[in-house]
Amino acid sequence: MEIYEVHDYLRTVCPDLHITRGEYDEDTRYLETKTLTIGQFKLGVCHGHQVIPWGDLESLAMLQRQLDVDILVTGHTHQFTAYKHEAGVVINPGSATGAFSSITYDVNPSFVLMDIDGLRVVVYVYELIDGEVKVDKIDFKKTTTSTNLTH
Amino acid sequence: MMISNGIEDEEKWLAEGIAGIQHNAFYLHRALDANNLREALKFSAQLLSELRTSRLSPHKYYELYMRAFDELRRLEMFFKDEDRHGCSVVDLYELVQHAGNILPRLYLLCTVGSVYIKSKEAPAKDVLKDLVEMCRAVQHPIRGLFLRSYLAQVSRDKLPDIGSEYEGEGDTVMDAVEFVLQNFTEMNKLWVRMQHQGPLREKEKLEKERNELRDLVGKNLHVLSQIEGVDLEIYRDTVLPRVLEQIVNCKDELAQYYLMDCIIQVFPDEYHLQTLEILLGACPQLQPTVDLKTVLSQLMERLSNYASSSPELLPEFLQVEAFSKLSNAIGKVIEAQADMPIVGAITLYVSLLTFTLRVHPDRLDYVDQVLGACVKKLSGKPKLEDSKATKQVVALLSAPLDKYDDIVTALTLSNYPRVMDHLDAGTNKVMAMVIIRSIMKNKTCVSTSDKVEVLFELIKGLIKDLEGISTDELDEEDFNEEQNSVACLMHMLYNDDPEEMLQIICTVWKHIKAGGPKRLPFTVPPLVFSALKLVRRLQGQDGDVAGEEVPATPKKIFQLLNQIIEALSVVPSPELALRLYLQCAEAANDCDLEPVAYEFFTQAFVLYEEEVADSKAQVTAIHLIIGTLQRMNVFGVENRDTLTHKATGYSAKLLKKPDQCRAVYACSHLFWVDDQDGIKDGERVLLCLKRSLRIANAAQQMANVTRGSSGPLTLFVEILNKYLYFFEKGNPQITSSVIQGLIELIKTEMQSDSTTANHASDAFFTSTLRYIQFQKQKGGAMGEKYDPIKL
């Protein structure tokens, strides 16, 4: 659904908005995958329903290799996960609204903030569990030798 | 004659008047300096004669008056000092009465009178009474008003009020009240009479001028309110009745409106509360054109502010039955003012409602009573067209929502929907949106099907086409916003009890199914998810209890879901329906209901085959089908084979070769599920991968023919990655030599086709090789497994 309200809201959070297509999105302007470079990091964004089996780490890692990114951000499962894989990170920030999912029972609303600083990225995870916000922190350092930047 | 060219002439006349005052003031000052009483009286009288003019507008007259006033202050100082003029105040009081003209004489008399009272040589009340009576001699409205205003001014600090030095020895506060009331009454009469001065054609100008003078009259009420001795009793028994009597009797719209407002503003709220009946009783007696809605609204606002200043005041409000008195008065006013536009009446009800909500928040019956009165006023009339009136009705209906933060309260008000029925379709929708926003803002849970029924009845303007308006005429953006709001609303309908929850879902469905093709795509998905949540709650509790009818079971809910989604599919909205069928299939899987799950898949497949035509839509749909099917474990061999066979068949029939290739290798996961009881059919996995390789080859050849180059090798690298996946999972069909072969193939292709270097596929291949390297170096079982592969 095209919900401009949500769109506008997200723009107030960050004006530099990148969207990839979810399985309920009718708007064909949204791409299936997107890559962007922030500082020394290359990021890939994909909703994830295209990657079967859904939420499977090894299959997502394949997409990470395909997009040639340090950090892959996906969704679809409505469950927060973060894995260090080979030389990169695969992150699923979960569902910010905690919407129903046939994949995940008892969805906790969650989102992540990533602080990218030089070769270091700190991922802050905010999860709402039983009415309380739990914040977690995951550190990831990129080793210069494993740099994937081919440009 | 003051006819045309008025403004210029007036300036001239004012200048002449000021010159006259200045001229006489000069000699007056000389006389005062010389302590010459006779001369002082002579020139002051001449000076005051300038105020006899009839040619100035109130505004200009005021300017002149202020100049004279300043001189009178000096004169008063002189009068006060007996040593300077050698005349006793009693004699002086006699002496000034010899002035030739009445107006100067009375100004001088008031001035001496002030000194007289101060000297206490006579009782204050006698002097005041004398002065207020004498002033009657001036009946010209403007001259009289200013003279009396002067009297009020000089006497203000000399009233025999409680605690004042002029009280006692027969001088009581009642004398002070009597004096001010009399001055007020006379001033009001002069003020009202002013409208009859001058030609009819200048009526408008006159009214404007008259309005400028209103504060001179109102000042008396202010003085009354300042008198310490005016307690509730005096106010109730004397002041208020006398003031109201004058107001009612003057039969003048301007005066009535202004003075009513004045009473409300200047006297304390506790007096208003205790004298409500008297004050309100006057309202229906006023001229039918008086803007009573403003007056009463002011009163109610003040009273509700007063009530909220202290919780201890509530019993007083109850004791005097403030609400019913106000309510009755409003009814009578509306009746008396037959020409009052509908907006006026509704504004009054809004004010009364606001009062009720603030003062008696617990009295829902009051709220309903106000709404009921409003319905009565609206009934028998066509739907509201007047936008101002509509706005007021929206305000009326919004007030309880704002107050209670809880729509559920409003849902219990029987008159609420009846008021809504009087709105036109557009406003009805606006109001429906207000209701939904209120629910969302306050996170109100609507928890029974009865309430849901009432709620959906209230917002029916959003739910279905109302007569006269078809969805084609609507602004698309507004429509989407409205429907999204309805969708959000569905999340607020909840009950912990599965029975009731199912009832809620059925009620919602009953309402929204009439929504038509444009609304269903918005409203069906949230309802489906709501039902699926309920299914999940009941999961495991199923099982047909022998002989007992269990009302809310997953089976029942799935039947309902089937109906709901089917309605969506015929809209037609096949892609959305397909997705929802798949969601249901997975939910049925989790409930261990194989036939139900199979049925949902069948529906999804039928839609795929018959309705999903767009090739891009097919790609997404097939991935969702494979993704869902991969997760199903409820199917027996036969059903599973049928479905996987279909899915792989669809995959291989996609339009574009790369899409075919990707869908086919995705199907490999249908035969290898990486958990304990999952199917592990290595051979069929390999078949899928081989088939995808063949398609990749075909795609490449096709590219060769059409573009003269083999195109990117991405597909091959993707397949290589799939091989690695199953290799790692231990699929015996996927050997290191097969992988080695594939690596070599890609390497060769890359070298042979160096002209069309493709960064993406090169990088992909590089990172895949690096991954293999990484796995080799890992050591352990995985390292060993990868060992034979040479890079």
Spans of all domains in chain B = 1-108, 123-267, 424-541+550-571
Whether B477 and A4 lie within 8 Å, measured CB to CB = yes
How close B543 comes to chain A (CA, Å)?
21
Sorted by sequence, the CB contacts under 8 Å of residue B741 that are 6+ apart come out as none
Lowest mean pLDDT among A75-89, B403-417, B633-647, B719-733: B403-417
d(CA B81, CA B112): 12
Q: Find the residue in A nearest to B630 (Cα).
A: A53
Is A145 an interface residue toward B (CB < 8 Å)? no
Whether A65 and B666 lie within 8 Å, measured CB to CB = no
Whether B721 and A102 lie within 8 Å, measured CB to CB = no
From the list B529, B576, B725, which residue is nearest A59 (CB)?
B725
Stretch B704-715: mean pLDDT, rounded?
A: 76
Q: Which of B767, B768, B770 is the best mutation test for A, with the most CBs of A within 10 A?
A: B767
Is A150 an interface residue toward B (CB < 8 Å)? yes
Whether A52 and B627 lie within 8 Å, measured CB to CB = yes
Is A99 an interface residue toward B (CB < 8 Å)? yes
- Nearest CA to B318 out of B264, B277, B359, B367 is that of B359
Contacts of A5 in chain B (CB under 8 A): 481, 484
Contacts of B715 in chain A (CB under 8 A): none
Whether B481 and A50 lie within 8 Å, measured CB to CB = no
How close B784 comes to chain A (CA, Å)?
17
Is A85 an interface residue toward B (CB < 8 Å)? no
Indicate if the pLDDT at residue B203 is higher than 90: no
Percentage of chain A with pLDDT > 70?
Answer: 93
From the list A24, A105, A150, which residue is nearest B763 (CB)?
A150
Percentage of chain B with pLDDT > 70?
Answer: 95
| Residue B713: band (very low, low, confident or very high) from pLDDT cuts 50, 70, 90 | confident
Distances (CA, A) of B126 to B86, B112, B188, B628: 24, 14, 23, 103
Lowest mean pLDDT among A53-62, B397-406, B498-507: B397-406
Q: What angle do CA A100, A77, A14 make, to 5 degrees?
A: 90
Indicate if the pLDDT at residue B598 is higher than 80: yes
pLDDT of residue A88: 87
Contacts of A49 in chain B (CB under 8 A): 620, 623-624, 627
Which ipTM score applies to this complex? 0.93
Whether B721 and A65 lie within 8 Å, measured CB to CB = yes
Whether A53 and B674 lie within 8 Å, measured CB to CB = yes
Phi, psi angles (nearest 5°) of residue B597? -60, -40
Indicate if the pLDDT at residue B754 is higher than 60: no
Regarding the domain delimited by A19-143, which CATH topology (the fold level of the hierarchy) does it fall under?
Answer: Purple Acid Phosphatase; chain A, domain 2 (3.60.21)
Contacts of A68 in chain B (CB under 8 A): 760, 763-764, 767
The string of pLDDT tens digits covering residues B339-375 is 888 888 999 999 999 999 899 988 889 999 999 999 9
Lowest mean pLDDT among A5-19, B100-114, B119-133: A5-19
Q: Find the residue in A nearest to B573 (Cα).
A: A26
| Residue B473: band (very low, low, confident or very high) from pLDDT cuts 50, 70, 90 | low
Contacts of B774 in chain A (CB under 8 A): 86-87
d(CA B391, CA B370): 17
- For residue A109, the Cα-to-chain-centroid distance in whole angstroms is 14
How close A113 comes to chain B (CA, Å)?
26
Distances (CA, A) of B666 to A63, B348, B564, B613, B653: 13, 69, 31, 21, 14
Distances (CA, A) of B177 to B2, B181, B218: 40, 6, 15
| Residue B161: band (very low, low, confident or very high) from pLDDT cuts 50, 70, 90 | confident
Whether A100 and B532 lie within 8 Å, measured CB to CB = yes
Contacts of B685 in chain A (CB under 8 A): none
How close B775 comes to chain A (CA, Å)?
9
- Nearest CA to B664 out of B675, B650, B676 is that of B650
Q: Find the residue in B nearest to A49 (Cα).
A: B624
Instruction: Count CB-CB contacts under 10 A for residue B705.
Output: 8
The two structure tokens encoding residue B738: 């097969």
How close A78 comes to chain B (CA, Å)?
14
From the list B480, B728, B768, which residue is nearest A65 (CB)?
B768
Is A68 an interface residue toward B (CB < 8 Å)? yes
Is A100 an interface residue toward B (CB < 8 Å)? yes
Contacts of A59 in chain B (CB under 8 A): 725
How close B669 comes to chain A (CA, Å)?
7
pLDDT of residue B476: 84
The string of pLDDT tens digits covering residues B271-324 is 999 999 999 999 999 999 999 999 999 999 999 999 999 889 999 999 999 999
pLDDT of residue A146: 46
Q: Write the DSSP assignment of B247-306 as a string of letters.
A: HHHH--HHHHHHHHHHHHHHS-HHHHHHTHHHHHHHGGGS-TTS-HHHHHHHHHHHHHHH
Return residues 7-66 of A near B (CB < 8 Å).
23-24, 26, 28, 49-50, 52-54, 56, 58-59, 61-62, 65-66
Q: Find the residue in B nearest to A28 (Cα).
A: B616
pLDDT of residue B703: 82
Residue pair B206/B195 in contact by the 8 Å Cβ criterion: yes
pLDDT of residue B710: 60
Stretch B532-538: mean pLDDT, rounded?
A: 93
Contacts of A86 in chain B (CB under 8 A): 770-771, 774
Q: Is B734 exposed, middle or buried (0-12, 13-18, 19+ CB in 10 A)?
A: buried
- Proportion of chain B in helix, strand, coil states, percent, rounded to 5: 75, 0, 25
Contacts of B770 in chain A (CB under 8 A): 86-87
d(CA B405, CA B402): 6
From the list B587, B624, B631, which residue is nearest A23 (CB)?
B624
In the predicted model, what is the mean pLDDT of chain B? 90
CB pairs under 8 A between A and B: 87
Higher pLDDT, A26 or A148: A26
d(CA B91, CA B104): 18
Domain ranges of chain A: 19-143
Torsion angle (degrees, nearest 10) of CA B406, B409, B410, B413: 180
From the list B533, B669, B770, which residue is nearest A52 (CB)?
B669
Q: Which of A21, A28, A66 is the best mutation test for B, with the most CBs of B within 10 A?
A: A66
Indicate if the pLDDT at residue B536 is higher than 70: yes
Whether B717 and A99 lie within 8 Å, measured CB to CB = no
Contacts of B769 in chain A (CB under 8 A): none
Indicate if the pLDDT at residue B254 is higher than 60: yes
Stretch B35-50: mean pLDDT, rounded?
A: 94
From the list A50, A100, A148, which residue is nearest B623 (CB)?
A50
pLDDT of residue B772: 95
Contacts of B480 in chain A (CB under 8 A): 2-4
